[in-house]
Amino acid sequence: MSRAGTGSSRLAAIAAALLLLAAIARAQSPWTEVTAEAHRSGVFRNSALQESSGVAVSRSEPGLLWAFNDSGNLPFLFATDTSGTDRGSFVVTGATNEDWEAIALAPCGQSLCIYLADTGDNLERRRSVRLYRFAEPLAPAGTGAARRRTAMAQVLEVRYPGGARDVEAMFVDGKGDIYLITKGFLSPVRLYRVPARAWQAGRAVADSLGPLPIDSGSGLGQLVTDAALAPNGRDVAVRTYREVYFFRLRDEGRLEPPARPVACSIAGLEVQGEGVAWLDDSTLVLTSERGYRVSGTVGVARCRVGG
């Protein structure tokens, strides 16, 4: 056999072994996989919103969604809805976008704030990352409105114990504590927490709350890209490119799978789905970056979380 043939055979054998390992990992997984009741509800109409990496649902303006572009883009916040309508955009005052990856709406004192996580770090080289928060702005009433500015953003510099981490998922609880979940590419998926009081000092070392039982090593589709806390304050959705995992947030801040652990398949719904938020306690909204000649999308999904 030729050297070229031998090389091809070895590559084929390696690929087959990787597929077998992934299948074994899925077979041994404690999660029950179900298919979501999901559909694509719209595409983003604002041509500037091309790399949506996260989404948040307004609690003050029904039907309003907040989105943003990820790394290397300008610090813009976009208002939209589940049909992708352009509801205007804002410059986030006092912020820069090194690699924005997640967004949430949560209390900050007596107000509701938008929280932005500038925490992306694919090669895990950043010595520290930044969180921003600012009062939720009022979206323009019409469509395609002129860009406005948000209130001045407050900045919180965060480091992780043990060195840099790549984080694309964040949620914030009712006390204002911030939870960060690693992507799981260079190391297992882990959960960190930054207490609300850290904003007073402007810098913090995140608390490590341990690993999460998501097997990101079984394939690139299993990398964690976003997370969201339901309006009930208990259920947490953690999404990858192709599945959504459901957890319960416990009083001590840890995440536990429900009695019937569910991994909800959303494969095939999006080009490169990255964002997740809760429209209500049983319905998710999902957002995707754009693909080749395809606009970014918005989707709606339901899954049985379990008891």
Q: Rounded CA gap, 55 and 276, in Å? A: 6
Distances in whole angstroms, Cα of residue 82 to Cα of each of 44, 45, 188, 284: 9, 11, 33, 11
Would you kindly state where each structural domain of the chain is located, as residue ranges? 31-302
Give 9's pLDDT tier (boundaries 50, 70, 90): low
pLDDT over 70 percentage in the chain: 87
Q: What is the pLDDT at residue 197? A: 97
Which range among 6-10, 51-55, 120-124, 281-285 shows the weakest confidence by mean pLDDT? Answer: 6-10
93-108 pLDDT, tens digit per residue, is 999 999 999 999 999 9
**Spatial contact of 183 and 137, defined as CB atoms under 8 Å apart:** no
As a whole number, the mean pLDDT across the chain is 89
Burial category of 30 from C-beta neighbours within 10 Å (exposed 0-12, middle 13-18, buried 19 and up): exposed
Strand bridging mode 154-159 / 255-256: unpaired
Residue 205's closest CA among 157, 273, 276, 238?
157
71-81 pLDDT, tens digit per residue, is 889 999 999 99
**Spatial contact of 70 and 76, defined as CB atoms under 8 Å apart:** no
Four-CA torsion 32, 37, 41, 44, nearest 10 degrees: 0
Distances in whole angstroms, Cα of residue 236 to Cα of each of 117, 171, 273: 17, 8, 18
Burial category of 41 from C-beta neighbours within 10 Å (exposed 0-12, middle 13-18, buried 19 and up): middle
CATH fold for domain 31-302? Tachylectin-2; Chain A (2.115.10)
250-274 pLDDT, tens digit per residue, is 988 999 998 888 899 999 999 889 9
200-228 pLDDT, tens digit per residue, is 999 999 999 999 999 887 677 889 999 99
Distances in whole angstroms, Cα of residue 305 to Cα of each of 75, 76, 189, 283: 35, 34, 21, 11
For 165, which DSSP code? Answer: -
The residues facing 155 across adjacent strands are 132
Q: Structure pTM?
A: 0.88
Residue 191's closest CA among 236, 137, 140?
236
Distances in whole angstroms, Cα of residue 292 to Cα of each of 53, 220, 240, 272, 296: 17, 20, 21, 11, 10
> Would you state the structure tokens that stand for residue 100, as one six-digit string?
């924005």
Mean pLDDT confidence for 123-148: 87
Four-CA torsion 173, 179, 183, 186, nearest 10 degrees: -170
Q: What is the pLDDT at residue 142? A: 63
For 141, which DSSP code? Answer: S
Helix (H) or strand (E) holding 252: none
Q: What is the pLDDT at residue 221? A: 80
Helix (H) or strand (E) holding 15: helix 3-28
User: Please, which residues have CB within 8 angstroms of residue 117's CB and are 6 or more apart in sequence?
Assistant: 54, 100, 101, 102, 103, 129, 131, 167, 170, 180
